[in-house]
Homo-oligomer: A and B are copies of this chain.
Amino acid sequence: MKMPANSSGSTLTSANPVEVGEKNRLINPELWQACAGPLVNLPAAGTHVVYFPQGHSEQVAASMKKDVDAQIPSYPNLQSKLFCILHKITLHADTETDEVYAQMTLQPVPSFDREALLRSDLLMKAHKPQTEFFCKTLTASDTSTHGGFSVPRRAAEKIFPPLDFNMQPPAQELVARDLHDNVWTFRHIYRGQPKRHLLTTGWSLFVSGKRLFAGDSVFLIYNLYYRDEKQQLLLGIRRANRQPANLSSSVLSSDSMHIGVLAAAAHAAANNSTFTGFNNQGKNDHIFILQRPSEFVIPLAKYYKAVCSNQISLGMRFRMLFETEESGTRRYMGTITGISDLDGVRWKNSQWRNLQVGWDEATAGERRNRVSIWELSPFDNIFKRTMPWLGEDMSMKDPGGLSLAQWMNMQQNPSMANQIQPGYLNSLAGSVLQNYGGPQMLTQNNLQFNSLNSQRSTSQLDQLQKLPQPATTSPLAMMMQPQQITDLTQQTVRQN
């Protein structure tokens, strides 16, 4: 598959993580993550995900600044959610705007087994970027031509190489790389009264080259994993008004884009029934490719835990994570005020943003009034009682709890411990969602019992969980390397 010409790409699909084409540069995953923000949690290649075409359709409509209207044909055989294997995930950044996005290659699957769930959970975990990282929102002085960039003290001390304070004034040359591997050179000087860190020569070229304005943000990252000291500094940007890619309307009409999204998914789902191997005589019509999938492609384990654990009811209290101005996270509290289809005609009984919510704080106007169940952090502790290994933020940070594998083994019902039963997720969901279910969901999702794995223990997966990670490899890059997934029945797990 060729890469789109106007983006840098980081392909993380083979055992060898460095796959370099001419224009196909490897994007640094930490920098990508910093620019994407802390709420974006990408699933790992080789794991299972849940894809919501409704969300995809919404995204297309938003980026075309157009409502979804009646021209779009209905795809009656297209479910509101598709369980898929994520074959490949690549990171990208628009060459014009530096906007970051991912590309995923998905294959719909009629069923998944217990190990798929465990694998998804396992590779979703160790996710916090451990890189030194700093974010600053640019001021008017930073972006004017009158001067340079005022570096926050903590950022300079944590990220930059130490200055030689014997110099008068102390100064050095810094070299930083952006997402496209472009090199930017700056003069870093410590001067003024009171003393402060500044970037002077070179800074204005960066501002004009990236077309930055006051209010936009820059990310400074100290990249632990580069051997070459000169290449340890990374530099990313994020624009103030994160325009949802309003570009591109000139190639295809909005309706055609909509139809393309839905037809591609429906086609892949339909052809999956005849799928026998990854290379089906060169015709890969059981797969489809998504751009910018981060909102509507959910790691299977995240979805699973949300549906199984969150007992949704009217009036339920919950918390939800939002991003702060400093690129951190903050919880806001709210109450579920309704459960209803966002689009009762096209997407009946869809879980996509079917929860209507109210927010506690007065500034709630900025926050959405419809959310999906996997976005919630539950407020009560029903769910900690049933799934004790989970922390409140569902990041499984509680080391004293049980692992998902242990918990599943603990269950009395052996079939539940060893595989997902047909309709299991749906019956769970149906029991807790008032407005959920009906026979349509059960038949559409068509979860099939896969007996191939029912005899095996989880010991090998437990070993995988304990594998030491090489210190010279980025944990995030590590996470995104696919395991051997094409033949799960052989339980081959490679260790690089």
A binding-site residues for B, Cβ under 8 Å: 2, 4-7, 60, 63-67, 70-73, 92, 94, 96, 99, 101, 103, 245-261, 263-264, 267, 271, 282-285, 287-292
Copies of this protein, total: 2
Write out the residue numbers on chain B whose beta carbons fall within 8 Å of the beta carbon of A63.
251
Chain B CB within 10 A, most for which of A251, A283, A292: A251
Write out the residue numbers on chain B whose beta carbons fall within 8 Å of the beta carbon of A292.
250-251
Write out the residue numbers on chain B whose beta carbons fall within 8 Å of the beta carbon of A71.
283-285, 287-288
Q: How far is the CB of A20 from chain B (nearest CB, A)?
A: 18
How far is A101 from B249 in the complex, measured between Cα atoms in Å?
11
> Cβ of B251 and Cβ of A259 under 8 Å apart?
no
Known: A6-B250, A94-B250, A247-B250. A288 touches B66 (CB 8 A): no
Known: A70-B282, A263-B259, A263-B260. A253 touches B103 (CB 8 A): yes
> Cβ of A252 and Cβ of B252 under 8 Å apart?
yes
> Cβ of A251 and Cβ of B291 under 8 Å apart?
yes
Can you list 5 pairs linking A and B with CB atoms under 8 Å apart? A2-B66, A5-B65, A70-B282, A73-B263, A92-B250
Q: What 8 A-B pairs are tightest by C-beta distance, nearest first?
A: A260-B260, A248-B248, A4-B249, A253-B289, A256-B260, A5-B65, A263-B263, A256-B264
> Cβ of A251 and Cβ of B260 under 8 Å apart?
no
Partner among B249, B258, B271 whose Cβ is within 8 Å of the Cβ of A6: B249
Write out the residue numbers on chain B whose beta carbons fall within 8 Å of the beta carbon of A99.
250
> Cβ of B259 and Cβ of A264 under 8 Å apart?
yes
> Cβ of A70 and Cβ of B267 under 8 Å apart?
no
Chain B CB within 10 A, most for which of A5, A103, A292: A5
> Cβ of A291 and Cβ of B259 under 8 Å apart?
no
- In the complex formed, the residue of B with least CB distance to A94 is B250
Write out the residue numbers on chain B whose beta carbons fall within 8 Å of the beta carbon of A64.
4-5
> Cβ of B2 and Cβ of A255 under 8 Å apart?
no
How far is A302 from B256 in the complex, measured between Cα atoms in Å?
27
> Cβ of B261 and Cβ of A73 under 8 Å apart?
no
Q: How far is the CB of A289 from chain B (nearest CB, A)?
A: 4
Q: How far is the CB of A123 from chain B (nearest CB, A)?
A: 24
> Cβ of A253 and Cβ of B248 under 8 Å apart?
no
Write out the residue numbers on chain B whose beta carbons fall within 8 Å of the beta carbon of A249.
4-7, 248, 291
Write out the residue numbers on chain B whose beta carbons fall within 8 Å of the beta carbon of A4.
64-66, 249-250, 254
Write out the residue numbers on chain B whose beta carbons fall within 8 Å of the beta carbon of A291.
249-253
Q: How far is the CB of A4 from chain B (nearest CB, A)?
A: 3
Known: A65-B5, A260-B259. A288 touches B250 (CB 8 A): no
Q: How far is the CB of A207 from chain B (nearest CB, A)?
A: 15
Question: Besides the contacts A4-B65, A70-B283, A71-B283, what 18 more A-B pairs have beta carbons closer than 8 Å?
Answer: A2-B65, A2-B66, A5-B65, A71-B284, A71-B287, A92-B250, A96-B247, A247-B247, A247-B250, A248-B251, A248-B252, A251-B292, A252-B257, A253-B288, A258-B260, A259-B260, A260-B260, A260-B263
